[in-house]
C-alpha cells in the first residue's frame, strides 16, 4: 500500500517530481525514462508515484504546462514594451525562438516518438485540449492587434498556424545549415513581421 503523505509532503513531493522529471526527460526523453527512475529520484516508492500522477506521460504534460507559462509572460512583455505591431511581432518571434532553442525539455517534445506516446497513453482529446489552449492564447494576441487595425485581417487561426510553423523551424537546424541558421531565422522573422503588419516605415 502506498505511504500516506501530509498535504505539505504531497506538495513538496509533487514539486520534486516536476523538477526531477524535467531533468530526466530533458536528458533521456520520455521513452527512456521510467516511473521507477522518477520515483527513486525523489525518494518515494514506485507505487507512491501513482498517487501524484497517473503515468509518466501525465507528469510530462504537467511539466510541459509549467514550461509553457513563459508564453503568457512573453505576450505581456510584448504588450508593454513594443511601440509598434511590427516590433511586437518581431520581439515575439525572437524571444520565443530563443527560449525554445535553449530549452532542453521542450526539444524532447518534438522527438519523433514523443507525441505518439503521449496520445497513446493520455488520449487524443487531452493532447488536442492542450494544443487548443496554446492556440487560444496566441489568437488573443492576434485578434487584439487586428481590432486596432495593426495587422492583416486574416483568419486568426491561420496567423497562429504561421507562428507555430515558424517555431517548428527550430527543429531543422541541420537541414537549414548550422552556419546560416541564425541568420535565416532572423530574416524569416523580419519578413513575416513586415508582411503581417499594416504599418509602414523601418524597424528598430
Q: 17 and 95: one domain? A: no
The cell for 48 is 507512491
| pTM, full prediction | 0.84
Does some domain include residue 157? Answer: yes
Query: 204 falls in which pLDDT band (50, 70, 90)?
Result: very low
CATH number of the structural domain spanning residue 20: 1.10.10.60
pLDDT single digits (tens) 59-102 = 999 999 999 888 888 888 887 888 888 998 999 899 988 888 88
Q: 57 and 74: one domain? A: no
Does some domain include residue 131? Answer: yes
Q: 36 and 114: one domain? A: no
Compare 186 and 107 and report the one with higher pLDDT. Answer: 186
Does some domain include residue 203? Answer: no
CA distance 92 to 90: 5
Under 8 Å between Cβ of 33 and 25: yes
Does some domain include residue 140? Answer: yes
Does some domain include residue 24? Answer: yes
6 Cβ neighbours under 8 A, 6+ residues apart: none
Q: Check whether 198 has a pLDDT greater than 60.
A: yes
Q: 93 and 177: one domain? A: yes
80 Cβ neighbours under 8 A, 6+ residues apart: none
Q: 40 and 117: one domain? A: no
Q: 90 and 138: one domain? A: yes
Taking CA atoms, 38 is separated from 15, 65, 123, 171, in Å, by 12, 18, 22, 27
Q: 201 forms bridges with which residues in the sheet?
A: none
Q: What confidence score (pLDDT) does residue 203 get?
A: 44
Averaged pLDDT for residues 170-195: 91
Q: Check whether 2 has a pLDDT greater than 70.
A: no
- CA end-to-end span of the chain: 62
CA distance 94 to 102: 12
Angle at 33 between CA 28 and CA 37, to 5 degrees: 120
Find the domain containing 141 and state its range. Answer: 68-196
Does some domain include residue 13? Answer: yes
Does some domain include residue 130? Answer: yes
The helix (run of H) or strand (run of E) holding residue 23 is helix 7-28
The cell for 94 is 525572437
Q: 79 and 100: one domain? A: yes
Q: 74 and 125: one domain? A: yes
Distance of CA 35 to the CA centre of its chain: 23
The cell for 144 is 487584439
Domain count, the chain: 2
Q: 52 and 81: one domain? A: no
Q: 187 and 104: one domain? A: yes
pLDDT single digits (tens) 136-170 = 888 988 898 899 888 999 999 999 999 888 888 88
Amino acid at each position: 500500500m502506498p505511504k500516506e503523505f501530509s498535504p505539505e509532503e504531497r506538495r513538496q513531493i509533487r514539486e520534486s517530481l516536476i523538477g526531477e522529471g524535467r531533468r530526466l526527460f530533458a536528458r533521456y526523453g520520455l521513452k527512456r525514462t521510467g516511473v521507477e527512475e522518477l520515483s527513486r529520484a525523489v525518494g518515494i516508492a514506485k507505487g507512491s508515484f501513482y498517487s501524484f500522477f497517473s503515468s509518466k506521460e501525465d507528469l510530462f504534460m504537467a511539466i510541459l504546462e509549467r514550461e509553457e507559462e513563459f508564453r503568457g509572460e512573453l505576450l505581456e512583455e510584448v504588450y508593454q514594451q513594443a511601440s509598434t505591431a511590427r516590433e511586437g511581432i518581431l520581439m515575439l518571434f525572437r524571444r520565443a525562438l530563443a527560449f525554445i532553442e535553449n530549452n532542453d525539455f521542450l526539444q524532447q517534445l518534438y522527438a519523433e516518438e514523443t507525441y505518439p506516446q503521449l496520445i497513446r497513453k493520455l488520449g487524443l482529446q487531452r493532447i488536442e485540449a492542450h494544443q487548443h489552449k496554446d492556440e487560444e492564447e496566441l489568437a488573443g494576441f492576434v485578434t487584439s492587434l487586428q481590432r486596432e487595425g495593426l495587422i492583416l485581417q486574416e483568419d486568426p487561426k491561420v496567423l497562429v498556424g504561421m507562428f507555430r510553423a515558424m517555431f517548428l523551424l527550430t527543429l531543422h537546424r541541420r537541414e537549414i545549415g548550422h552556419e546560416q541558421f541564425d541568420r535565416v531565422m532572423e530574416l524569416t522573422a523580419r519578413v513575416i513581421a513586415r508582411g503581417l503588419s499594416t504599418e509602414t516605415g523601418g524597424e528598430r
